[in-house]
A and B are shown apart, each in its own frame.
Chain A
Amino acid sequence: MTQVLSPADAVVDMVGVTMEFPGVMALDGVDFRMYPGEVHSLMGENGAGKSTLIKVLTGVYTATAGDMHLAGSKVSFSTPAQAQDAGISTVYQEVNLLPNLSVAENIMLGREPRRFGSLDWHAMRRRAAELLEGLNLDIDPGSLLGSHSIAIQQLVAIARAVDVNATVLILDEPTSSLDTDEVAELFRVIRTLKEQGCAILFVSHFLDQVYEIADRLTILRNGRLVGEYRTEEILKIDLVQKMIGKEMASFSELEQRHRESEEEIAGTGIPFLEAKGLGRRGAIRPVDFSIDEGEVVGLAGLLGSGRTEIARLLGGIDRADSGTSEVNGKAVKLTSPRKALSKRIAFASEDRRGEGIVGDLSVRDNIALALQIERGWYRPISPKRVTELAQHYIDALNIRPADPHALVRNLSGGNQQKVLLARWLAVAPRLLILDEPTRGIDIGAKAEIQKLVFNLAENGMSVLYISAELEEVLRLSHRVGVMRDRHMVSMVENDSLSVEDLLALIAEGSEDEDEKDVVA
């Protein structure tokens, strides 16, 4: 059944694609091929260049260098509309359809059948029904799109893409909000499309799903091509290793200190927070979690594995559907950020633009924000003190420009991250939850931040540390929780764990697969 396909058969053939932005090389000489009737998965972590490559393919960007061939002929797109007309369709994570219109309209709008100048509803519904039937989908074309689950809406989006004569269908994180049955249905549709000769690009963080549906994988890292493999030819652990790779900076001093501290009791042994069965429908399956004073617990796993979700529950950002929590032995309901902060739990979001910075306010105001809120509006911190506070963190974290009055929205991403970190440090929490605190920060600052975390823990602060960089997690954590596909597969003591050990856990997980498949 596996025919040997040559590049000549490829429907999409991208060679030496380079995408350069001022100061940043997003893609560096990447080759990428898609074959008809095949499901191809693009793999890579944050910053790997996946979305950039897709944007070049779909005409959102025009490549700085390199060639692109579509079904043999050379093409170059300058607008998404051109790519669409050429037969490349994309279904995004956010579905991008109109929930207030019917399924038939969502499929047909823009190409509606007409009769005497007006919309022919009958024909529209008929054609939509045909399409849905062709994919074996039992959806009423006349029903309101918004009345269906995300899973169904996605399938409708696919039906629309198919009708536009897509030879290439790109599915961007299609399974993020689906449960197991819905994923199975999606995969059935994908297989039907495969049989019809469509080339499908399946982008997803869920390793198990990728292995189930994809025929071929392309791995990117730091904008470069690591390799193209047939799925059956590469082990999960090798895949994960190639995706994550190795870091360049050496942190031997920190590792040394860590080894030394390990000889002492990790943390104080006094539990600070204990959560049992904490879960939230659609986000994360019930998890048990505990952390002692002065302990650093790391969460490792791929993007989308549920690390952020559990952190948000612990930080009171989202409400849990199930489970209980105790702080210092007393039951608490972490139902709002304010409640969590009152229990001295601070949460630093990974989405600094949407949930972190108050862009039009200054650096000093952003830093002092949480502290000020704690004190109440009627007890303003004196301007002198605020500036001192801001200056302290500007120096400690090397925030540039070193101007407390600069507007945060004008700072670079890395510096914005530091401002946010300063905000949470300023409230002196007992548990600090850091979600990707070093993302987008230069190497020197990364080291500083990690040293900071280390010191904080030594002084009794508990830290929940989430990072995609496994070295960081290992360097700092006393224990590491491993997440995969929205549940915690294991929690291990960091007893001289190596990156390889961690990779293995992420890839294969513990053998607790007898736990029931709870519908998320």
Chain B
Amino acid sequence: MSSTVMERLPANSATRGTLSAGRRIITSPKYAPVLVTLGLFIAMFVSGGVRYDNFWSPQVLLNLFVDNAYLIVLAVGMTFVILTGGIDLSVGSVIALSAMICAKLLEAGVPAAGVIAVTLIATSLLGLGMGLMIHVFKVQPFIATLAGMFLARGLCYVISEASISINDPFFVSMASTRIPLGGSASITISVIIALLVVAVAFYVLHYSRFGRTVYALGGSEQSGTLMGLPVGRTKVLVYVVSGLCSGISGVLYSFYTLSGYSLTAVGTELDAIAAVVIGGTLLTGGYGFVLGSALGVLVLGLIQTMISYEGTLSSWWTRIFIGGLLLVFIVLQKVLTRRRD
């Protein structure tokens, strides 16, 4: 009797065929969105190459990384926060703040290593403050990180209204050094740093208890607590992580722009959120991958590249396309999660 019952049970066991396993992966809310993004990326890249000359060069692909290295790091930090079901609106302003701190300290003659260290500590502390507001005082993440955004942007203005340029040799070298990858292709050091951040984030999310607790928070905070996971601590830490990533992103950004300017990176948090959503992370939390978010950044970059290749389209079509893409992905996520029940 037991054998008939067992057969009846949903056999999600590995003994079933790979075909149905494949189908399951494609429709699961965990993997499906990322796969769609990947498919989209490939489709866009292919169509770009068909439509424009000189599109299918490796450098075009690599430039996606070069131009968006900072955004990749930012999206990684944002992924942590969104996985727990929260949000961080401060990241754009924190980028500006980090670049500004770097520029100001370098101007004062502080050595590069110290400058970077101070910046990262400062942004992490800001993240800690927001995390504590959210966990201890039960302030909504939206409001707490909004306050963070105002604070960071305000501090930017206070430090310097005008733009400060960076002449420090280390920073300059980071900006201009290209690492050749054979042929005429090359990347910057920022790309390496960004990829390193992604790798570390991947490891943490999938191979540490902290990472699993991050996912648990997004699944069900109550269940996580009942299972004995350190839910409170993790909630605060994700905002520290986001702050740290924003700091790193700011440093990379300052490599890119070689200046600190208080009006920069306005609205970049939206780009990060869009990248994360397009990358397959559900805004309700619990599902998503940093690899997906990185892919999301590349998709956004690709849109921009294609628009500039198109030539006739004005650059603000970018925002419209991103908005449209967001809509498509959100509807897709809705459809998939409804199937899950």
Q: Which of B12, B212, B226 contacts A139 (CB 8 A)?
A: B12
Q: Which of A96, A112, A184 contacts B222 (CB 8 A)?
A: A96
Asked if B218 is at the interface of the complex by the 8 Å CB criterion, the answer is yes
Shortest A280–chain B CB gap in Å is 15
A149 touches B219 (CB 8 A): no
A147 touches B203 (CB 8 A): no
**Residues of B with C-beta under 8 A to A110:** 227-229
A140 touches B215 (CB 8 A): no
Asked if A429 is at the interface of the complex by the 8 Å CB criterion, the answer is no
Bound CA span A148–B13, Å = 11
Asked if B216 is at the interface of the complex by the 8 Å CB criterion, the answer is yes
Shortest B240–chain A CB gap in Å is 20
Contact pattern, A 121-153, Cβ under 8 Å of B = 1, otherwise 0? 100000000000000111110111011110110
Bound CA span A148–B28, Å = 12
B215 touches A98 (CB 8 A): yes
Give the contact stretch, choosing among A99-107, A262-270, A349-357: A99-107
Bound CA span A105–B214, Å = 13
Shortest A84–chain B CB gap in Å is 8
**Residues of A with C-beta under 8 A to B219:** 98-101
Bound CA span A80–B12, Å = 33
- Chain A residue with minimal CB distance to B12? A143
Which interface class (under 10, 10 to 19, 20 to 34, 35 or more) fits B?
35 or more
Asked if A109 is at the interface of the complex by the 8 Å CB criterion, the answer is yes
The verdict on A147 contacting B287 (CB below 8 Å), with A100-B219, A101-B219, A109-B229 known, is no
Asked if B340 is at the interface of the complex by the 8 Å CB criterion, the answer is yes
**Residues of B with C-beta under 8 A to A25:** none
B209 touches A119 (CB 8 A): yes
Q: Which of B13, B286, B287 contacts A138 (CB 8 A)?
A: B13
Interface centre among B12, B209, B229, B287 (most CB of A within 10 A): B12
Shortest B15–chain A CB gap in Å is 8
Shortest B201–chain A CB gap in Å is 14
Shortest B79–chain A CB gap in Å is 14
Q: Which of B6, B24, B220 contacts A96 (CB 8 A)?
A: B220
Bound CA span A143–B219, Å = 15
A118 touches B13 (CB 8 A): no
Shortest B290–chain A CB gap in Å is 16
Asked if A443 is at the interface of the complex by the 8 Å CB criterion, the answer is no
**Residues of A with C-beta under 8 A to B229:** 109-110
Contact pattern, A 84-104, Cβ under 8 Å of B = 1, otherwise 0? 100000000000111111000
Asked if A185 is at the interface of the complex by the 8 Å CB criterion, the answer is yes
Contact pattern, B 221-233, Cβ under 8 Å of A = 1, otherwise 0? 0111011110000
Bound CA span A137–B203, Å = 31
Bound CA span A110–B209, Å = 8
A98 touches B12 (CB 8 A): no
Asked if B314 is at the interface of the complex by the 8 Å CB criterion, the answer is no
A147 touches B13 (CB 8 A): no
Bound CA span A148–B14, Å = 14
Bound CA span A146–B284, Å = 15
Bound CA span A142–B15, Å = 12
Bound CA span A279–B269, Å = 49
**Residues of B with C-beta under 8 A to A80:** 226
A-B contact pairs, 22 of them (CB 8 A): A96-B227, A98-B215, A98-B223, A98-B227, A99-B219, A100-B219, A100-B287, A109-B229, A110-B228, A110-B229, A118-B203, A119-B206, A119-B207, A136-B2, A137-B6, A138-B11, A139-B9, A140-B12, A143-B12, A149-B10, A181-B8, A184-B5
Give 9 closest A-B pairs by Cβ, nearest first. A98-B219, A100-B286, A118-B207, A143-B12, A100-B219, A110-B228, A140-B13, A96-B223, A140-B12
